[in-house]
């Protein structure tokens, strides 16, 4: 099976926006990655429109068409009647000429097929056998009914879409060997033409957005062809098909049926709910999944709805409109539909409650039903989890609460004071240690200017220079607290983080140790000085005694020497 919408895994940012936009919840989310559930999808294209990361892409068939042209096939283009809204031109010939330059052999408006479809609708209305009739020109509506409202299948008009009708008519008229390429605003057409009943009718589908890119790549400017002469200045009233009420404009409404036009999937689903549940009879309902009609198709990236609407009106109303053009319909336009109901397994209440408890929803009041996960209620999300369509932890309030809880545990468990300041140096957050260290439990720091409490120029310096100041010893006299302080600038958040390690006790211990050392040195110095004085006094005393002894001994020696000389 070819997936019409593909996801780029690297781009999915877990925002769940695509799930919120999906009317039938056909997007599963597992292992941090969204995936289209092909069997559930009705290809409305909402997820393409809302994805902020461009994580989804459409299967592009331009290469396939180029291959047909390169191989010299006769390639016929069937172009949807909403083309004036996409290409800003009420000159069909200009676009046709551009397509011929790309290599198309023949171009015709799908309005020709719409003409044939409208005639089939008139036959159904005239017969009056159906309780209610829902138009089947929109493949998204058909998928919606077959998959989610099978009881309403009996109301689907058993008629092919204008695209299929036109393809049948082209191949009947020009031969089965031609290649028919549908060009339009609708993503779902890429799936419709691969339906088993439509094999070999349409050979490729190109969206308006893809055609614009192709023309751009080839350097083809539509303005080059705007002044060309238009051979046939007539169009069909079926050119109104892409706007709300357009189908109703093309049929004879003289019957007992009541005629209603419904657009947008929400309105379509509400209408189908009423048809299935209520006792509603005698309605012919033009139903279009796109709000505003095909001019607002998922692959028709135009500037604004009102401009697109005006472009189609100008194109059709400025022509010689004819609903009686000589068009031969020699093909079978009947269509059958089947039950393709998508069924979810609904677990019992006990199982649902056990799933909810895993994400902190223990009682009814815990179920916020905020819709952030993409599901309208917590119970609906729990059922999706049970069916492996959703991740248990897709609950944003729960994950935020959990993250904040863990963050608070970490920050408030830190023995260091932690402050967060904004760019104006006002305190945004303060942990428990900040109050404890500075003994200010009875005060509230949050919302106050940091200088009201902490007189340190580093905060302003870091803000102005955007450079961190790390591991500075700061003493706050006001609190008689000494800290080892780091001031960190967060450029991403334009915030300043202050981390203060209380080293007051260590500093006081160090101060006491230094005092003891100083006193010890002083005492030692005094002892040394005293000892020096004693030594000097002793030395002085010894010096005098020695001198006297020397004198006495010298005298004694001299006496003895003298006496010895006399004795001789």
Distance CA 545, CA 526 (A): 29
Which H/E stretch holds residue 92?
Answer: helix 92-102
Q: What is the pLDDT of residue 338?
A: 93
Tell me the average pLDDT across 17-31.
86
State yes or no: pLDDT of 55 exceeds 50. yes
231-249 pLDDT per residue, tens: 445 678 899 999 999 999 9
**H-assigned helices in 414-503:** 432-437, 458-465
Q: Is the Cβ–Cβ distance between 513 and 500 less than 8 Å? A: no
CA–CA separation, 535 and 523 (whole Å): 18
pLDDT value of residue 305:
86
Taking each helix axis from N to C end, the angle separating 111-127 and 162-174, rounded to the nearest 10 degrees, works out to: 110
* Residue 88, Ramachandran bin (φ over 0: left; ψ between -120 and 50: alpha; else beta): left
Of the chain, the percentage scoring pLDDT greater than 90 comes to 49
Domain segments of the chain as ranges: 60-226+237-322, 348-412, 414-502, 503-568
- Closest CA relative to residue 353, chosen from 345, 361, 342: 361
Q: Which residue has the tokens 């020696």?
A: 557
pLDDT at 325: 57
Residue at token pair 């002085």: 540
pLDDT value of residue 1: 44
DSSP strand pairing (481-490 vs 495-502): antiparallel
Model confidence pLDDT, tens digit, residues 518-562: 887 788 788 888 888 887 877 777 766 666 666 666 666 666 666
What's the CA gap between 293 and 501, in Å, rounded? 66
User: In this structure, which topology does domain 60-226+237-322 adopt according to CATH?
Assistant: Rossmann fold (3.40.50)
**Cβ(426)–Cβ(450) under 8 Å?**
yes
3-state helix, strand, coil in the chain (%, to 5): 45, 15, 35
Alpha-carbon span 389 to 45, nearest angstrom: 19
Integer Cα distance of 295 and 300 in angstroms: 7
Mean pLDDT lowest for which of 316-330, 344-358, 444-458, 521-535? 316-330
pLDDT in tens, 465-477: 999 999 999 999 9
Are 131 and 123 in contact by the 8 Å Cβ rule? The answer is: no
Which backbone phi and psi does 221 adopt, to 5 degrees? -105, 125
pLDDT digits over 304-313, tens only? Answer: 889 889 989 8
Q: What is the mean pLDDT of the chain?
A: 86
pLDDT score of 54 more than 60: yes
Phi, psi of 36 (to 5 degrees): -75, 130
Query: Fold match between 60-226+237-322 and 414-502?
Result: no
The yes or no reply on domain 348-412 and CATH 2.130.10 is no
pLDDT at position 364 is: 83
* CATH classification number, 414-502, choose in 3.30.450.20, 3.40.50.11900, 3.40.50.920, 3.40.710.10: 3.30.450.20
In the predicted structure, residue 230 carries a pLDDT above the cut 80: no
Select from 35, 38, 26, 49 the least CA-distant residue to 2: 38
Number of H helices, E strands in the chain: 19, 18
State the Cα–Cα distance between residues 444 and 427, nearest whole angstrom. 10
Q: Do 183 and 79 meet the contact criterion of CB atoms below 8 Å apart?
A: yes
The residue assigned the tokens 């135009």 is: 302
The CB-side HSE value for 433 (13 A sphere, CA atoms) comes to 18
Rg (CA), the chain: 45
Over the stretch 159-170, which tens digit does the pLDDT of each residue have? 999 999 999 999
Alpha helices in 318-360 (DSSP H): 349-357
The helix (run of H) or strand (run of E) holding residue 215 is helix 208-217
Which pLDDT belongs to residue 568? Answer: 55
Cα separation of 185 and 211, whole Å? 10
Bridge partners of 487, per DSSP, are 469, 498
């Amino acid at each position: 099976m070819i997936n019409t919408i593909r996801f780029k895994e690297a781009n999915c940012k877990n925002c769940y926006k695509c799930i919120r936009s999906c009317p039938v919840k056909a997007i599963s989310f597992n292992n941090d990655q969204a995936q289209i559930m092909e069997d559930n999808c009705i290809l409305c294209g909402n997820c393409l429109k809302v994805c902020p990361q461009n994580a989804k892409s459409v299967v592009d068939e331009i290469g396939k068409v180029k291959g047909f042209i390169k191989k010299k096939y006769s390639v016929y283009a069937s172009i949807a009647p909403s083309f004036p809204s996409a290409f800003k031109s009420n000159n069909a010939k200009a676009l046709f000429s551009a397509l011929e330059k790309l290599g198309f052999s023949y171009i015709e408006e799908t309005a020709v097929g719409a003409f044939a479809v409208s005639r089939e609708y008139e036959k159904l209305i005239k017969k009056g056998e159906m309780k209610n009739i829902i138009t089947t020109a929109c493949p998204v509506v058909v998928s919606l009914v077959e998959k989610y409202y099978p009881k309403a299948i009996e109301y689907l008009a058993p008629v092919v879409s204008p695209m299929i009708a036109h393809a049948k008519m082209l191949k009947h008229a020009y031969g089965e060997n031609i290649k028919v390429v549908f060009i339009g605003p609708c993503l779902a057409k890429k799936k419709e033409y691969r339906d088993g009943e439509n094999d070999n009718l349409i050979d490729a589908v190109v969206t308006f957005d893809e055609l614009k890119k192709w023309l751009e790549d080839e350097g083809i400017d539509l303005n080059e062809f705007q002044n060309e002469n238009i051979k046939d200045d007539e169009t069909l009233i079926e050119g109104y098909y892409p706007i709300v009420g357009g189908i109703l404009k093309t049929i004879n409404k003289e019957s007992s049926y009541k005629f209603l036009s419904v657009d947008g999937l929400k309105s379509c689903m509400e209408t189908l709910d009423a048809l299935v549940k209520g006792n509603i009879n005698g309605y012919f309902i033009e139903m279009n999944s796109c709000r505003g009609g095909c001019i607002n198709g998922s692959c028709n990236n135009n500037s604004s709805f009102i401009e697109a609407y005006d472009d189609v009106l100008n194109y059709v109303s400025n022509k010689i409109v004819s609903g009686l053009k000589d068009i031969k319909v020699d093909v079978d336009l009947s269509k059958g539909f089947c039950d393709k109901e998508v069924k979810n397994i609904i677990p019992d209440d006990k199982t649902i409650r056990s799933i909810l408890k895993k994400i902190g929803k223990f009682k009814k009041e815990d179920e916020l039903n905020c819709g952030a996960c993409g599901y309208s209620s917590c119970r609906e999300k729990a059922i999706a989890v049970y069916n492996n369509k959703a991740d248990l932890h897709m609950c944003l309030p729960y994950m935020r609460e959990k993250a904040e809880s863990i963050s608070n545990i970490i920050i408030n468990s830190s023995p260091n004071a932690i402050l967060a300041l904004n760019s104006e140096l006002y305190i945004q957050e303060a942990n428990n240690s900040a109050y404890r260290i500075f003994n200010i439990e009875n005060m509230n720091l949050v919302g106050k200017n940091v200088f009201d409490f902490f007189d340190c120029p580093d905060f302003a310096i870091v803000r102005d220079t955007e450079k961190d100041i790390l591991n500075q010893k700061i003493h706050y006299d006001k609190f008689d607290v000494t800290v080892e302080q780091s001031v960190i600038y967060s450029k991403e958040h334009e915030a300043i983080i202050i981390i203060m390690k209380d080293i007051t006790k260590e500093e006081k211990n160090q101060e006491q140790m230094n005092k003891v050392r100083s006193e010890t040195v002083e005492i030692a110095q005094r002892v040394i000085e005293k000892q020096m004085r004693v030594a000097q006094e002793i030395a002085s005393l010894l010096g005098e005694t020695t001198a006297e002894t020397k004198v006495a001994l010298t005298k004694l020696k001299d006496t003895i020497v003298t006496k010895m000389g006399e004795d001789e």
